[in-house]
A and B are shown apart, each in its own frame.
Chain A
């Protein structure tokens, strides 16, 4: 928790009333409380909060989803689906955590871990 708060401090937040239709790229953490459609590519972490809706292909280091994600997630480290999230799409990451209560539909590929 502390970590997350610290991360939230410095970084990019897409507020709950914001709608972005297009591409987001960057080298820092991104917190989504609003809606993002299109494509997200980050070198750091993506946090999709409870109110957040992402309809995009995601390419990041870490992804933490508490909201809704429709699209493929490709993380170089970890994907974490929190208890109230809804995710539809394929997940590809070496570490994938799905919490009790999470809703998920799609393929999981942890191939990096298998190697």
Chain B
């Protein structure tokens, strides 16, 4: 008897809501659910909801996976995937990392697939700033490169002076040599 039941149930999960059955209220569970009848209210499962062609769900659905061949009016939130088969019809919002709409499926509503990945990325970002703030000495880094360049250039006078002269040409004319002399360039020279 038990085996027989398992076999019949095993096709799509232990729980089946037959075609003439109407459930009005909250339905929750940790196993697959096959709906051939009507469920209104709320469906919460940790496994897969199979909504067959004759099935109607007017409910907010929260499951791991949903395979919809029947009619859904309401929002579906899945932690893994939502599949609307070619017989599936749905009005409502879908939130799931994977959403599959097959040719022939009818759907009206919003789909949100990014939710999970965005939150993951956001989490990363949240994590990183803490690390960045842990080393406050990091920000000054961008400015140094120019200095380093200037130093590098200062080493070869010939390149420095033209650049400086170009820069200073817009401001009151100063002898490039003096301008250069006022700056570190000369100091560098002395250091040497």
Contacts and interface: CB of A to CB of B under 8 A. Distances in A.
Contact of B4 (A5, A20, A22): A5
Interface in B1-22: 1, 4-5, 8-9, 13-22
B124 interface: no
Contact of A16 (B8, B14, B17, B28): B14
Interface stretch (A24-32, A76-84, A92-100, A103-111): A24-32
Interface stretch (B29-37, B95-103, B112-120): B29-37
A37 to B, nearest CB: 8
**Interface residue range, chain B:** 20 to 34
A38 interface: yes
Contacts of A15: 9, 13-15, 29, 31, 33
Contacts of A21: 25-28
Contacts of B1: 1, 4-5, 8
Interface in B21-60: 21-31, 33, 37, 41
Contacts of B37: 12, 26
A25 B21 contact: yes
B4 A12 contact: no
A28 B21 contact: yes
B8 A8 contact: yes
Interface of B: 1, 4-5, 8-9, 13-31, 33, 37, 41
Given A5-B4, A15-B29, 14 more contacts: A1-B1, A5-B1, A9-B4, A9-B8, A11-B16, A15-B15, A17-B29, A18-B28, A19-B29, A22-B23, A22-B26, A23-B23, A25-B24, A30-B18
Interface of A: 1, 4-5, 8-31, 33-34, 38
15 contacts: A4-B1, A5-B4, A8-B1, A8-B5, A13-B5, A15-B9, A15-B15, A17-B30, A22-B26, A23-B22, A23-B24, A24-B22, A25-B22, A28-B19, A28-B21
